[in-house]
Amino acid sequence: MVLAEDLDELRRSALAALEAVGSERELEEWRVRYLARRGELARAMSRLGELPAEERRAAGQAANRAKDELQQAYEGAAESLRRRAAGADHQVDVTLPGVPPVTGGLHLTRQALYESVRIFAHMGFTVFETNEVETDELNFGLLNIPPDHPARDMWDTLYIDDELLLRTHTSPGQIRAMRAYCPEPLRVILPGKCHRYEAVSARAESMFYQIEGLAVGHGITLASLKGVFEAYAQQMFGPERRIRFRGSYFPFTEPSVEIDITCHCMGRGCALCKGTGWLEISGGGMVHPVVLENGGYDPSDVTGFAFGMGIERTIMPRHGIDDIRYFYGNDLRFLRQFA
């Protein structure tokens, strides 16, 4: 029964070899070695004829059983390889760390608006929200910019028709706020979206956000504006910041100023401030008597200050953003940095 023992040995070693098979290619190599027409099993069976007749029958049956068993094992291995490729054998590993869900976040502009509103609210300012679509009269006329005024060139305007336009600044809200509060004193901030018919560049967007501030009452001076703005700048950008006023011109304020804030380089000079140590952050001044009158107040009785700043340009230095187009380009790689 030497052949029967050989067959048994062949069967066991073939099954052991099949355990180690890990790919289609290895499985095919296994099939060629053991099951093919010139494989080890076929060669062993070819020796059946050498056996004495009385042993041949039992050895033949053992050979057939070994062949069936290996054939079945081969088919099982092929099936499990197919399943693995299809992922059907995929097991859940509960010890793996989870994938954090993607959550939304406030846009960088919205965060800065909320932060600014919070700071001004602590100084007694109330948010006053007004129209994004405005009349020519409110956007210009009542702000001391009549139709033929050369200062209209300062704002490239998107008109809807002869009378309606997309507001170019938050300043028309000044008139609406004054008319809502008059004759009471008021302290409001007007945050909102503005539009300009402008060539888009690294420094200019056709849509942006402004925060306008307005205070009207007795004894308000340019020093009040300076105090309010310095408090804002120090809470928004850091206690070491200083501000300065430079004389300027706006039709709706008199006198008018540009407001600068010390650069983060603290006066040493850098590329951002072009070596000056100062960054322009806002424009403002004392509310023009004509504008006070248009709001319903008596300019011989009360005074007021107003300022307006673009939110994006204000926070760009803080985050090292060098192109305003990133804000509304909706590139998630940019936005997620601030979520």
Q: Which residue has the tokens 């210009």?
A: 140
- Locate 76 and state its tokens: 């099982």
From candidates 73, 166, 263, 311, binder to Zn ion by CB under 5 A: 263
| SS3 (DSSP) at 195 | strand
- Single out the segment in contact with Zn ion by CB under 5 A; choices: 57-65, 123-131, 166-174, 267-275: 267-275
- Single out the segment in contact with Zn ion by CB under 5 A; choices: 85-93, 214-222, 272-280, 285-293: 272-280
User: How far is Cα 330 from Cα 107, in angstroms, rounded to an integer?
Assistant: 10
Burial profile 28-42: b = 16 or more Cβ within 10 angstroms, e = fewer:
eebbeebbeeebbbe
Please say which residue, 48 or 272, places its beta carbon nearer to Zn ion. 272
From candidates 15, 270, 290, 296, binder to Zn ion by CB under 5 A: 270
From candidates 21, 143, 188, 273, binder to Zn ion by CB under 5 A: 273
Q: How far is the CB of 317 from Zn ion (least distance, A)?
A: 8
Please say which residue, 153 or 240, places its beta carbon nearer to Zn ion. 240
Please say which residue, 263 or 335, places its beta carbon nearer to Zn ion. 263
- Of 135, 146, 142, 199, the residue nearest 168 (C-alpha): 135
Q: How far is the CB of 96 from Zn ion (least distance, A)?
A: 48
Q: How far is the CB of 277 from Zn ion (least distance, A)?
A: 6
Q: 119: which residues sit within 8 A by CB, 6+ positions away?
A: 231, 232, 235, 236
Read off the amino acid at residue 159: Y
Q: Is 265 an interacting residue with respect to Zn ion (CB under 5 A)? A: yes
Please say which residue, 189 or 315, places its beta carbon nearer to Zn ion. 315
Q: Are the beta carbons of 115 and 144 closer than 8 angstroms?
A: no
Q: Is 81 an interacting residue with respect to Zn ion (CB under 5 A)? A: no
Q: 245: which residues sit within 8 A by CB, 6+ positions away?
A: 222, 226, 257, 258, 259, 260
Q: How far is the CB of 241 from Zn ion (least distance, A)?
A: 12
Residue closest to Zn ion, measured at CB = 263
Binders of Zn ion among residues 116 to 155 (CB under 5 A) are none
Chain residues binding Zn ion by CB under 5 A are: 263, 265, 270, 272-273
